Structure 1
Amino acid sequence: MQQEVKSKISNPDRIIRIFMRMCEGGMYALIRTKANSKVGIRCNFNTVDPGRSPPQVFFSGVSEFGLSKLRVGEVVRFEVIGMPSKVIFQSKISGMGSGSICCDLPKSLVSIERRSAARSSTRRNLMAYMKLGIWNPAQNEAGAPPVFDHHHEIFNWIPVFDISIGGVCLRTHFPSVLSSLMAVDSDRNAQLILPMNEPLMIPSTFRWQRRIKNRFVEAGEERYQLDFRIGVEFNHLRDEQLMKIKQFIRQLSVADAI
């Protein structure tokens, strides 16, 4: 079970120093309003003006649609993206411009340190896959995906259901892969395929398997479909591989933002 440790930062000078570093790094954040906390509005840390009263923080890169959801004087919640720990704070919007907003310096920041790797779910328009070296099903093999000539190179790619820097959960409707896992518990030749990247060869260990029965209605009739899920742990990630996985997780974290 994932554990979290919260710490609060309330020293104004320290908050200003932290925000200045975020501005220098062009850090991203998601803005969430009380009216619609499920929708995130993307923005970038731009500058800090500690000389104003109260000190101001400026954010850029806000879409026109995102600006239409915000109001001057409104207190909103910010979630900083791309930091080792989750940083959140609340601030009042003091002004708005073209693609930008300014806010009062928050009175406090909350840092949430995750004791285990947080998982991010993939999206239909932002998918990842894993190709296992131990699984190469034959054409017409029972329980294996169908093979088409123009898709022969990818027919044994297994969709990634969620991902963290520690591993992935794979999801498939084809039980053939489970037969291959009965004889082994690891795969030295597993490949992780991320969008716009060459496959990453990552030795991996299989930690668990689950069968999930999904109910759905089709043409007015109740039907069921089996999902097979496999927990995979990465072994010996190289620095460049870790960087690419973190970049993909960052893409997923803002995939639904406006």
Structure 2
Amino acid sequence: MALSDEELDRYARHIVLPQIGGAGQLRLKAANVAVVGAGGIGAGIIPALAGAGIGQLTIIDDDRVELSNLQRQPLYASNQIGERKVDLAARFIGKRNPHVECRTVADRIEADNVDAILSGHDLIVDGTDNFATRLIVSDAAVRLDIPLISAAAQQFQGQVALFRGQPCYRCFVGDAFDADDCDTCAELGVLGALTATMGNFAALLAIKVITGIGPDAAGKLHLLDGLSLTWRQLRLVADPACRSCGTDNAADR
């Protein structure tokens, strides 16, 4: 695999970074990344990863554009209400970077299809807005041994974390949120600019994971308070009793 003259010019600002260089850009080109959710968080992740030159992007979302989405989802326009988000995201990617191969899945992630949808990817980036889907994705990431970046935003609070092995996302939130009727931004609200910030932060973390630059971020939760404009970083702890990755239940899996 090599970079064409056009790609060398396109990614010049990456390539001159000594931490990335041509070798790092080739890793980005070889990567196959699944983005779960093309909403507010995804609208920050998708342009950043496409612009960075991720070779293959899979966009997974079963929603169509609604008027209330436009406050925080800049991938879409007023005249596109009612259209499928994955189709519009793929069209955007094609215009932004023709070197990115885009695959779309217009299905809702469920326990019975998640492994088939996510298997074969090098990295999963989850920007969905409910605990039920996030936990399904996390459990699959553990089973498939694929690193997972989970990003979320609600009201003025945002969080992003990389999960690889232990601890997993279920260690973080436990089993109490498996129900599909948990509060979402539709009920509680969310600042539009916050979703873009967390989506771009998740994309930055994805680029770090793929290129191998900087210290390992696995197991660290990054929290942003959008009101005070302060960041915090917390170390997550593995739960031995976790039914997804826990050592106490290893024999049962």
TM-score band w.r.t. shorter chain: under 0.3
Give the number of the structure with larger relative contact order, counting CA–CA contacts within 8 Å between residues 6 or more apart. Answer: 2
More helix by share: 2
Structure with bigger strand share is: 1
Larger radius of gyration between Structure 1 and Structure 2: 1
